Structures are given as C-alpha cells and as structure tokens.
Structure 1
Amino acid sequence: MNTAARRALDGVRVVDLTQALAGPFCTSLLADQGADVIKVEPPRGDFLRYAGPFASDDEPRDYGGVFQSANRNKRSLVLDLKKPEAREVLLRLIDDADIVVENFSAGVMDRFGLDYDTLAARNPRLVYASIRGFGDKTGGHSPYRDWPAFDIVAQAMGGLMSITGTDAAHPVRVGSGVGDTVPGLFAAFGILAALRDAERTGQGQYVDVAMADAVLAISEVVVNTYGHTGQVPGPLGNQLQGFAPFDTVQAKDGVLALGAPHNPQWAKLAAVMGQPELVDDPRFATDHDRWLNREAVYEVVNAWTRTHTVAELVEVLGGKVPLGPILDAADIFADPHFRARDMLPTVTHPHNGRAVTVPGIPAKLSNTPGTVERRAPLVGEHTVEILREAGLDTAELTALADAGATVIPSSAQEHVA
C-alpha cells in the first residue's frame, strides 16, 4: 500500500467527540482520506471497544473488531469533559480545528459550554456536525429530539423495516448497521460540503444529521410509492417494486440473485434460456407488464434455473445479465474481486500482533487515494503527543492528570517529563 501518496484531506484537523458506530464511522471516512482525526475519549474509552467481535484468544477484551474498523487512522486523546480543565484543553484544540463531530444526546454540548454558537464565536470557519437519533434544532425541532436511538430504532422509524422481510407481520431489520453507517455517510458528505463552503467564504456552519432522516432517505420505495399513489408499500422479500425479474432464483444446488427487469436484459435472458419467444409474449412485453405478471415471470425463470447449478448459471449468464451468487464471509475473503479492489486490508492487533482485516475504502480516487495505514488507537495512546502539539508543557500535563481531566497511559509516562 502506498502510504506516501498525497491524500485529499491532508492538513484537515478533525476533533472527534463521537462514540458507538454512527459518529466514528463518519470520522473514519475522513481519516481514510488523510484528515488528522483526534478521537477524544473519556477515561474508560469509547464503549464500542468492548462490544466485539473478539477472537477466542483476545485478552483483554477491550479492543473489538467493530471498534477497530470504525476508528482506524485516528489518534486517541483522553479528556474527561466533566472536568473544567479538560474542557479548556478541548477549546484550545478546537481553535485550530477545521471540523468537530459529536453524537452526544441533545443538550449535552450546551451544558458543557461547547455548543456550536460558542465554538463558532471562537473559530468562525469551524464546521460542526452532530449525529443524533432525531437530529437537533438546526434542521427542524423534532418532537423526538430527546429520544435515545440505536440502529434498529432508526431502521424502524425511518421506514426501512416496513419494507424489509417477507410479510408485514414480521418486519426485519437489515442485517448490518445501516441505521448507523448511512447517517455516518450523510454526515461525512455534509461535512465535506460545508468544508468546501468554509474554504470559499471563511464561514463554517452546523451540519445536523438525524439517523431516522438518513434511513428514510435511502428508503426510496416508502416515499416514492406513497407520495405518488397514496399506497403504503409492504415487504416484498428480495423483490423490488416495479421490477421483474428482480429476485433470488432457484438453482439445483442453491440460490443466486438475478435482475433482468428491462427489455434489453429480458431479451438476453430469454435468448440464453432458449426461449426467445418470451419477448413477444404479451404478458411480458414491457417492464410494467412483467411486474404485473411477475408470478408468471418467476415461474418461467425458475423452471429454467432449477435445471442448472449456481456455477453453471454464473458461467452462462455472467457478463450478459445482472446476476450474482450469494457470497458469505468466507466466499468474500476468497473472491478475486475484493482482492483486486483492496477491499480487505489488514492492520495489526495491538495486544497480540496478529494481522486483522477491516473493510477497505470503496471510493477509489485516482490522484489522491485514501489509505488504511494505521490501526485504531488504544485508549489515550496519543494523549501526550497531541497535548504537546497543542503547546502544553510538562507542568500543565501533570496538573491535568492530577485533576483527573486526563489519563496518561503508562507507555507514555516517560514522555511527560
């Protein structure tokens, strides 16, 4: 991996006041592109550290796999923001920062005296982002503003669970934490848009992201269907409303995903199946006809796919019609696509020195490639380094530690003197 390459966010300083997944995922995207992300943690550390997954021999269990993934390329600083001394140090860091990201409950930063208005008065070019379950007052004062939320709550109230699963009686949460990661993506996008504007005008702004809003934004079926027809869409399993065939189909030895909903794709599929006459069948004449007659579509398609293995279907349809086998984790780690695209980079586990895999960077920039070059930090691993950069001398570092405002890791004690 070319760690010397220029990166798009080199020179950008981020003060990261986030825990759990949504906020750290957001700031990891910035760190991957070269931003100096200072992760400010309480003395106990981000609670995501203790959530796993862990290998059987991971001890102590304070450095889980999700934490490792969402906090790579960052530096960790311990500050107990309940202490006024810690808040004063944080203000010094923010004076030189470009971006602040936080996901505290609504009102916490106000009580700390670290709200956007206060920080913007000190640093007018500051981009300040918050990620909460239902947002903050800047984007519109939700009646649920003070409600706590997790991924499953955002998926439920953002509409996604109402269209996921096989029937309305059994709503299903999407298997990954999209109620966290999608808000993190939207926050990163909003931050970069605001940063661009700040570079142009010298004036920063507040980026207000609600987890529920972000989930709704990707639940296009919910809004589009009800907004245009007044109908409430429900779960369709693996299908997509208005498209057929667009589902999993049966093979001799399993299932695979197949989509051929538009006329050119349907014609290619019919030809490969040896049934070109299907193109002229009035039940299947248009995209909409195939949707209305989707039971007949799937009867025809599955009757053919069941006569072949998954491997045979991939061989005869690959490159002609959109399809793909259902890859599990072991399949993905063995697949040449993800290896070629560097989507499974490794970092070193700090406790045992073992190489562990984290998800790679999906946005491939030709001139300023991002890199995963640094493992997630231990709690407070860079406390002394960062505070020295901020101008604190030995006496100030010692006073902060004595006041309980920070914790100096034993590995860094020698660097305080």
Structure 2
Amino acid sequence: MNKLVNVLTTTDIHGFISNGGQPPALALQEIKEKYPNSLLMDSGDFFVGNPLTTYFCDQMQVSPMVDYANKVGFDVMVPGNHDFDHGLNYLKRQVSHLNADYVCCNVFDEEGNWIFSPSTIKEIDGIKVGVIGLLTSRMSMISDFDVTTGVVVKEALPELQKQVAALRDQVDLILVGYHGGIERDLRTHDETNYATGEDETFKLVSQTPGIDGFSCGHQHRINHGQIGDTLVVQGGYRGNCFGHMTFEFNDQNKIVKRQEEIVLTETLPAKTGDFYSEEDYQNWLAEDFDLSHLVEFLKQKFTREHLGIFISLKGKTRQQVIDSFTIPYGVRIYRLTSSEYQVFSQQDWALKQENYDSNAHDFLVLTNSYEVPEYRLTDQFVDNIFDEYSYYLTQRN
C-alpha cells in the first residue's frame, strides 16, 4: 500500500496571535489534527512584526510566540529577515526554547560557522524527509546594520546546492523552506520582480535539481504551482492560509504522485488563545513613550545629508505613536522646491528638525505626513518605525 506524506507550510505569521477576535493564526493549533502523517514547517518572519511582539520583547525573556509554536506543533522553522530585528541574541534565546528544529544553510557567524543547523532529517511514516532552511541573499539591503552585526548571509544558490547534494542520497524527500519571494510567474515564467536578489525562488529551484517541495514567503503573497518537478507554495500573511503539498510513495519509497495547493486557514476549527495577559498589554500601550531620541534615531537610520525631519504625532502614548505611522509606509522622503518647503515647514509638527545648506534651492524632507504632493515623492519605506525605535531605546539604555 502506498504511503502519503502531508507537508504543511506557513510563513510571515509576524506574531499575529492576539488573544481577542480569533485571528486566523490561532486556528493553526488544529492543523496537525486534520492532516495525519504530516510535517509542519514555517518559512520565517515568525517572531517579530507588530506592536504585540515588541511588547513581548520589551517585557519578557521568552516570547509567547514560542509557546504558540510549540502548541501548534511545528516540526521545522526557518528564520526570516524580521526575526533578527531585536538582535541575534534575542532570536537565539527564542530558538533555544522551541521544540521545532531551526534551520538555515546560508547564515553564518563572522568566523564562518553556521549560526543554525543548515538542515534536518525527519521521518514521517517510514519516509525520510530532509529539510533545508534558506534566507534571502539580500539581507543587507532590507535590514539595519546594527541588528545583523555578527551575522553573515551568503548567496543562497551555492549554499542551497551544497545542501541538496549532501542530502539527496540520505533521504526520500527533500524540502526547502526559503524566506524570500517569487520573481517570476509560476505559470508563464515571465518576470514579475526586478532581479535584485531579494526574491529568487524561480532561480533557486530551476538551478538546483533534486528539490521535491519548496516553501517560500516574504512578499505576503499567495502562490502555488510547479517549477519542473518541484512543488512550490507561498502561504500569504498572518496565518490567513497555508501551503499543503502531498507526496505519495510506493513500497520502494519512490514518489509516484505529488500535488500542491493553498488552503484558507478558516477551513480549520476556530481557536482562541491565552498566550499573554491582554490587560497588561493594553496597559503597556497606554503608557507614555520616550520620544526624546526619535529624531536622533531617524537621522541615524536614514542617513541623508541635509535631511529635514518633520514628524506628526497623535499623542505621547505607545498606542498614539503607533497610530501616527501609517502601514506599510511609515515614513517617506520628499524633495521640495524652496517655496513648497517654506509652506511645509511652517505646519504644526510634534517633532521637527531642519537641516539644510543655506544656499539650497531644493530640500529633502523625511515625514510621516501624507499632506505632500505625490509628485514630490522620492522614497518610501516599509520599516515599522515604532518597533525599530523601541529596540533602539533598549540598546541605547
């Protein structure tokens, strides 16, 4: 009788396990009950990504995300770029309390040693499954230097190829969990992204023979399909859906059938959560926030010469500061003419610093305001200013 292995994949949970309102990720606590003979893996950006996880970092040594991961029953997990946002030591502390194996083959320390195991082997109903972890090659472009100090992220492709070659004769099934996105349409193979190296799923799979299943993420998109014989799934955001790959094996443990799909998490039984004190969290949000170093932080983060900083705030509490920065573009940079700058700079700003050459004829301004002509937009950033500034304060103190 043939054997069936269910591979279940999540990605970009970003800490959305709020006790109230039954968020989709809570239903994942029932996922392994629905799918027998399964391996459950996460492809990164799990621990960090919203004010709740900042609260966990600020108040607790071990995040409730660890308890959540253990209750869901993850077998293998992979780091995402945001999982490093509170520093490597914080991430390693969380990993040390996980029941899951934490793997990544292209993240090294400065001495050239793997920070996490490059891969792991699991056995599901007599089938040996090798799982390789992988992080986007362009970590340096999308993460601040200070949070990745001591971390060396090497090019994904050669490191992946080494691991596949090492595992292929040891296992019956090879899976990859990749925190990066898809740069081509899975059906037409047309390019959908600029080739920056941040999202390389098509390149990695097409140039690495021997991969059976590939789970990616990072872009918060939903995709599934095949590249050659390799199944590919990309499971959305906040646990709104998950990837499901099925592999059927004959009695020689050879794959005879494979199939992939994306499943909405709402198809699982709804679950509530009790992973932290909601009252304590709300009290923390209501506390006044130290804003005295925010301009200093923004100057260091967005190193531009003669950059004016103009920040509008809805108040001084953590919640009011959070509400002051629109998601996903918390701050943006505009280039204004002299007359436009004069009007803009005279508005009522909670935090303001002008920094320009006295002979300037145009002006760069960094602001969280959207009351600026769109045709003057120069750059916009998806950085979560509240979370990053909170971490900055802990490091400064």
TM-score (norm. length: structure 2)? 0.27
Q: Which has the higher contact order (CA 8 A, sep 6+)?
A: 1
Structure 1 length normalisation: TM-score?
0.26
Larger of the two Rg values belongs to structure = 1
